[in-house]
Amino acid sequence: MRDTRYILYLAMPLFAFLDESGHYQYTHQHGNYLVFAAVITADPMLFNAEFATLKYELLAEGICLSRFHACEDAQAVRNRVFTILAASPHYAVHSIIVRKNRVNPVLHKYGPYSIAYRTMLRYLIWNKKIDRLHIIVDTVPDKSQQIALKENLKKRAEEILIPAKIPFTIDHHDSTAHALLQAADYCAWAIYKKWHAKDVRSYVHIQGRIRNEFDIYAQGDQVYY
């Protein structure tokens, strides 16, 4: 059988669909992890047909959804989405794990964006021949958070990709616009559930597509709460 693990990086340009999972409140009650995930593919139309078909199958069953969103969807819906994700070899998942209780309070609010995106972009281009990188990011409802997201991603992209001479674009869209943004949401959520609650029921469906779960503060010993 043909090894499909590297097909993603033979056809250029690459598309990176980014999302995150976790809460930005720094308390035990809101969990100790943030997860930043990128779904990488050479096929930006991946999952369009499958997700559309599933949406209308669900509609016929009396369930009307404008998008798939892991934390809001019923478990029965999640199971069907993860079945779709598990069936495709044509994407990879990169993730960055942030232990919130090790984040210096001066970086609270949205400081982890800068740290996570710098590390994420370095992983995305490491040892890969990329002609162009198109980055598509899910929007967030909080205006100040959206501003922080845009500013930090732009700065980190300029810092990492320009010296590497990789042309890039960055677009911020609602997840309803792209099946792959919805896939990124599901992947981020599955990884978050593994780290936050040691719940791998969803994680196992995408485990074979995950290329890294880089725990930024794994070696740290300073705990702030």
Global pTM reads 0.91
Residue 157, C-beta contacts closer than 8 angstroms, at least 6 positions apart:
117, 121, 135, 168, 170
Residues in Cβ contact with 164 at an 8 Å cutoff, skipping those fewer than 6 apart: 125
Q: What is the pLDDT of residue 127?
A: 67
Q: Of 11, 37, 219, 211, nearest to 129 (Cα)?
A: 11
Q: What are the pLDDT digits (tens) for 44-55? A: 999 999 999 999
Residue 6 has pLDDT above 80, yes or no: no
Give percent above pLDDT 90 in the chain. 72
In CATH, the architecture of 7-215 is 2-Layer Sandwich (3.30)
Give the pLDDT score at 9: 45
Rounded CA-CA distance 213/81 in Å is 22
